[in-house]
């Protein structure tokens, strides 16, 4: 590999070509980034998962000093399965409409590409504070990698002052986000012939009752709107994303698993939904199932949790980011990002990146070239700031 400088768009093209769907390993991409950094004389550290199949990457440029800025992003993307793509999702395709198409262009390889393309400039600059890169795995399936990455950040380097998580915000500065929890609810019934409903317990039917209850809870929670935040929607939300169970049309289903989750407004009690679900199951739903068969069971298990982000804890970080975007106000978002995890480790964190979140997870995902330009300009200002502070 050469050390020829590359543009952010050229770098994005390289990153998009790696299929880093969360179910796959991200190691090919991470190793590419590592060798790119190596070629530029930047040492990086990998923080692998337990199985060694995925890794976070951490790297620093500049003086070994406190007060650095962390540019952070997740390397995984959501699946393209079943989506109608007009172009190859793993080939960055520029169209005459000024948009760059490909999986992960907006969520969120665009930001990582800009960070990496600026490595030669970071090195040339007389940085007074360091720049750190923190790239994670498994964000899309519950921010799994970011926990160890945040620990690494807190433990191994002089304390940074701000983390910028480059999720797509159209380069607006976001300093508040919802908390989110991902859970499984596993219903175990008892099989019987479908003509003998009195002999068995149909797990799917009780899962259905649970979903109905979740809907009612959601309606109740929708009445509690947040007085200050302007997120849309402005209340806690619940979603059942996957339902699986049953073996045949003429058998009472023995098992049914719901993959569900909730998002809580920043500052709200983020344990409420799970707590109330557990209480409902224990006091009402499970006794009903067990009355039919003693072996029936319901287990609710948390898969993931992402803490929220509160504006007042991130004021200094937001001020800095606004200086670099030229914006005059901050925003709140209803989705969860790794920002909540970094913040919960005590580092002020804001979200700011190229592209529109409404593009994320969609077929024909794109990032506008103008957004990549804005992000280039943002990092340009950040470099100037880092030379003088
Ligand atoms: Zn994302």
- Residue 383: predicted pLDDT: 97
- Is 66 in the active site? no
- Is 51 in the active site? no
Tokens of 13: 């093209």
Q: What percent of the chain has pLDDT over 90?
A: 75
Query: What value does the mean pLDDT take over residues 142-159?
Result: 79
For residue 361, pLDDT over 70 is answered with: yes
Is pLDDT larger for residue 314 or for residue 2? 314
pLDDT tens per residue, range 255-303: 999 999 999 988 788 899 999 999 999 999 999 999 999 999 999 999 9
Catalytic residue among 139, 140, 167, 338: 139
pLDDT tens per residue, range 93-103: 999 999 999 99
pLDDT tens per residue, range 174-196: 999 889 999 999 999 999 999 98
- Residue 2: predicted pLDDT: 64
Query: What value does the mean pLDDT take over residues 66-86?
Result: 94
**How many angstroms is it from 108 CA to the middle of ligand 1?**
5
Catalytic residue among 19, 76, 338, 376: 76
- Residue 13: predicted pLDDT: 98
For residue 233, pLDDT over 90 is answered with: no
Phi, psi of 85 (to 5 degrees): -90, 140
Q: Look at residue 23 and give its three-state secondary structure.
A: coil
**How many angstroms is it from 338 CA to the middle of ligand 1?**
9
**How many angstroms is it from 346 CA to the middle of ligand 1?**
21
pLDDT tens per residue, range 196-221: 889 999 999 999 999 999 999 999 99
**How many angstroms is it from 298 CA to the middle of ligand 1?**
32
Q: Look at residue 243 and give its three-state secondary structure.
A: strand
End-to-end CA distance of the chain: 34
Query: What value does the mean pLDDT take over residues 346-354?
Result: 94
Query: How high is the mean pLDDT of the chain?
Result: 93
**How many angstroms is it from 107 CA to the middle of ligand 1?**
5
**How many angstroms is it from 140 CA to the middle of ligand 1?**
6
- Residue 312: predicted pLDDT: 77
For residue 1, pLDDT over 60 is answered with: no
Contacts of residue 73, Cβ cutoff 8 Å, sequence gap at least 6? 108, 109, 111, 112, 115, 134, 135, 136, 165, 166, 167, 353
pTM to 2 decimals?
0.85
pLDDT tens per residue, range 109-118: 999 999 999 9
Q: Look at residue 56 and give its three-state secondary structure.
A: strand
- Residue 265: predicted pLDDT: 87
Domains of the chain: 8-177+308-388 (3.40.630.10), 179-305 (3.30.70.360)
């Amino acid at each position: 590999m050469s050390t020829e400088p590359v543009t952010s768009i050229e770098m994005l093209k390289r990153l998009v070509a790696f299929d880093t769907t969360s179910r796959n390993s991200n190691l090919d991409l991470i190793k590419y980034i590592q060798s790119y950094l190596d070629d530029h004389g930047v040492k990086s550290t990998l923080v692998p998962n337990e199985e060694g199949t995925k890794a976070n990457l951490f790297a620093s440029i500049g003086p070994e000093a406190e007060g650095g800025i962390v540019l952070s992003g997740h390397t995984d993307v959501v699946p393209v399965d079943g989506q109608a793509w007009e172009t190859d999702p793993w080939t960055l395709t520029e169209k005459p409409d000024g948009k760059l198409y490909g999986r992960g262009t907006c969520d969120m390889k665009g930001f990582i590409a800009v960070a990496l393309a600026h490595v030669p400039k970071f090195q040339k600059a007389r940085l007074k504070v360091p720049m750190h890169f923190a790239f994670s795995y498994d964000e899309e399936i519950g921010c799994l990698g970011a926990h160890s990455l945040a620990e690494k950040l807190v433990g191994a380097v002089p304390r940074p002052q701000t983390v910028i998580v480059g999720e797509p915000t159209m380069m607006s500065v976001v300093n508040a986000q919802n908390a989110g929890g991902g859970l499984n609810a596993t219903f175990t019934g008892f099989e019987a012939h479908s003509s003998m409903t009195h002999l068995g317990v149909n797990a799917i039917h009780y899962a259905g009752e649970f979903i109905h209850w979740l809907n009612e809870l959601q309606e109740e929670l929708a009445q509690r709107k947040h007085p200050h935040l302007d997120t849309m929607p402005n209340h806690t939300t619940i979603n059942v994303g996957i339902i699986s169970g049953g073996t045949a049309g003429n058998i009472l289903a023995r098992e049914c698993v719901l993959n569900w989750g909730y998002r809580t407004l920043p500052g709200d009690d983020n344990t409420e939904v799970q707590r109330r679900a557990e209480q409902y199951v224990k006091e009402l739903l499970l006794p009903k199932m067990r009355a039919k068969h003693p072996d029936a069971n319901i287990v609710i298990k948390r898969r993931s949790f992402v803490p929220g982000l509160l504006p007042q804890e991130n004021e200094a970080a937001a001020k800095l980011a606004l200086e670099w975007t030229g914006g005059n106000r901050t925003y709140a978002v209803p989705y969860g990002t790794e920002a909540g995890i970094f913040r919960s480790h005590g580092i002020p964190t804001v979200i700011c990146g190229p592209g529109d979140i409404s593009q994320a997870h969609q077929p024909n995902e794109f990032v506008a070239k103008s957004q990549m330009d804005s992000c280039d300009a943002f990092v340009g200002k950040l470099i100037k700031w880092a030379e003088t502070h």
